[in-house]
């Protein structure tokens, strides 16, 4: 059974002006996601700026999220690292905290081979009992790509590796993987502009940046598709394309934090080396948000 089906929000981590995690605002955003019918919370992923959280902060944010959600929907914790031992540590601590599943990114910088990727993910998964979702995002990992055969092998041979968040953007690769999968791979779109195409290939849903500011609409893209209203699903997807483009006109999560702040939801500043959005891009984002009915 899938960890979740539908739209999971890759939730931001709000910061105070002094750089500390703003737990009060984080709780408010979690509640807004639940009210917006989000199907899962993915905490401490790319959008949550996990790469600039200390290990202690990282785990405290996961623990806090689990506490606030309190079983109302699944919490998937990002626990990946380019160091296998670190990924094991974070994964075990997230399991102890009560996370329902883990999102483990492809090791970055090291440039592991397919054999290395297999062993890395297997060691991490074997260290815990909860489900693991692989996170394939070559654009952030030095071009390292989990090939379809490796994804299928991991999901077949390692009991608690259940699927993949695919942010390759390569629909042909996804189609090949799902052709090999024989129903063994729970597929989630890692790109908001490809939710419907991924669902059409057998996807379970999306792990979404868009959902931070449009949870109901993102949920509905998936829900309508699964209800058989493909046209309704496609319409929301296409209506959101301008906004999605604006949310990725600078590196994530720069635009989505700006968007939340424009909506009066205090996401706060970014941690270096990320910087505030360029004025021209901020204007583009504000226009797209207005056109989509968010401002």
Catalytic positions, written as ranges: 135, 165
CA distance 103 to 133: 5
Helix 171-181 / helix 148-157 crossing angle, nearest 10 deg? 30
User: Are the C-beta atoms of residues 234 and 68 closer than 8 Å to each other?
Assistant: no
Which residues lie below 8 Å from residue 244, measured CB to CB, with a gap of 6+? 192, 193, 210
Distance CA 66, CA 107 (A): 25
Tokens 């695919």 locate to 166
| Spatial distance between the Cα atoms of 202 and 176, rounded to a whole number of angstroms | 12
Nearest to 267 by CA among 102, 7, 32: 32
Q: Are 271 and 48 in contact (CB under 8 A)?
A: no
C-alpha–C-alpha distance, residues 139 and 151, integer Å: 18
Neighbours of 171 (CB within 10 A): 15
* Rounded Cα gap, residues 74 and 220, in angstroms: 18
Q: Is the dihedral of CA 4, 8, 12, 14 positive or negative?
A: negative
């Amino acid at each position: 059974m899938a960890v979740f089906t539908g739209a999971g929000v890759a939730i931001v981590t709000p910061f105070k002006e002094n750089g500390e995690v703003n737990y009060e605002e984080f709780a408010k955003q979690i509640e807004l996601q639940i009210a917006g019918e989000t199907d899962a919370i993915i905490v401490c992923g790319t959008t949550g700026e996990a790469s600039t959280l200390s290990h202690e902060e990282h785990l405290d944010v996961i623990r806090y999220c689990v506490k606030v959600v309190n079983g109302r929907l699944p919490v998937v914790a990002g626990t990946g690292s380019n160091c296998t031992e670190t990924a094991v540590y974070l994964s075990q601590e997230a399991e102890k905290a009560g996370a329902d599943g883990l999102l483990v990114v492809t090791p970055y910088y090291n440039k592991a081979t397919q054999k290395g990727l297999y062993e890395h993910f297997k060691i991490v998964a074997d260290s815990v009992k909860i489900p693991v979702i692989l996170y394939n995002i070559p654009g952030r990992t030095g071009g390292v790509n989990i090939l379809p055969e490796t994804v299928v092998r991991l999901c077949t041979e390692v009991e608690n590796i259940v699927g993949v968040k695919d942010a390759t953007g390569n629909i042909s690769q996804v189609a090949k993987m799902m052709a090999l999968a024989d129903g063994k791979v729970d597929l989630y779109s890692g790109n908001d502009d490809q939710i419907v195409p991924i669902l059409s290939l057998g996807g379970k849903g999306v792990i979404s940046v868009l959902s931070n500011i449009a949870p109901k609409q993102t949920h509905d893209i998936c829900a309508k598709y699964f209800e058989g209203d493909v046209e309704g699903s496609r319409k929301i997807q296409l209506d959101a394309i301008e906004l999605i483009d604006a949310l990725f006109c600078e590196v994530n999560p720069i635009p989505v934090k700006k968007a939340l702040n424009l909506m009066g939801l205090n996401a706060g500043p970014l941690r270096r080396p990320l910087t505030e959005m360029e004025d021209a891009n901020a204007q583009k984002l504000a226009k797209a948000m207005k056109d989509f009915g968010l401002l």
